[in-house]
Amino acid sequence: MIERCRSDYPVGMMCRCLEVSTSGFYAWVGRKPGPRARANAGLLERIREIHEDSKGVIGAPRMQEDLVDEGMHASVNRVARLMARAGLQGWPRRTRRRFGGKPGARPVGIENRLERDFHANEPETKWVTDITEIVTQEGKLYLCVVVDLYSKLVVGWSMHHRQDRHMVVRAVQMAVWQRRGRSEVILHSDRGGQFISGTYQKFLGGNALVSSMSAVGHCADNAACEGFFGMLKRERVHHRCYRTRDEARADLFDYLERFHNPRMRRRVARRDREFSALIKPSVETG
């Protein structure tokens, strides 16, 4: 406070009022920042850069994850404290009531194979898919994605002004083209008409994909994909006003391929390094 007000009041008078020695004040002014203060300054500088790159949408939890991915060690509380002091904050989730149509009948022989177990130990074992709508001034644009539950990568996607079965098949086809292995993959969806269609089911059967579908009235059965859409809209769509569908397509492509997927790849690489570090001593001991 003395430092802030020294241009308005005499330093000696303020020191007497606050019972601080004048020599102690000047010693504090000339003291160099300690290791913790220097570390916080460097950390805050990188936080500002990441916050600016994300267009101001990343909050403390995801900021901390990005810092850890880069090899910088900081707790969530420390990151939140630094962001609060700098006036940086992410965008909160929007809450809204959802109204959905009546789900279709699940095709014979198809079950809910995930049973809300969205954890995968290996890539290309569990995928989830769904459709969301993006509002533009030209009309609605529909986005279908296929997300790998191991890496959280969007391995397939497609966009169209109609949410039909062909758009869904194109998204899954993109995921199949990028698949490296040949083993069966569980592909989970809700009971939308596009997913129960014969065209979609036939495509899955011909590409070693095992169809899995949610139960009636249980939106949480596909929470992993719903969560991705919520993140997409919170971090990008809600901050835009798209004039045309082409403008929305370009921005969604930028988010998927230049923002989200690179972050997920870095996160998987870090997780793999940590796992390798854990098993290496055991192997050497054995």
In this prediction the pTM is: 0.66
Q: Is 10 exposed, middle or buried (0-12, 13-18, 19+ CB in 10 A)?
A: exposed
d(CA 187, CA 190): 10
The CATH-assigned architecture of domain 126-272 is 2-Layer Sandwich (3.30)
Q: What percent of the chain has pLDDT over 90?
A: 39
How do residues 54-66 score in pLDDT, each as one tens digit? 777 778 888 888 8
Residue 80: partners with Cβ closer than 8 Å, 6 or more residues away: 60
Report the chain's C-alpha Rg in angstroms: 26
Contact 171, 158 (CB under 8 A): yes
- Determine the Cα–Cα distance for residues 120 and 124; give it in Å rounded to an integer: 9
Parse the chain into domains and list their residue ranges.
2-86, 126-272
pLDDT digits (tens, 9 = 90+) for 6-25: 788 888 888 888 888 888 87
Q: Which residues in 194-214 are b (16+ Cβ under 10 Å) and which e?
A: bbbbeebbebbeebebbbbbb
Q: What is the DSSP letter of 104?
A: P
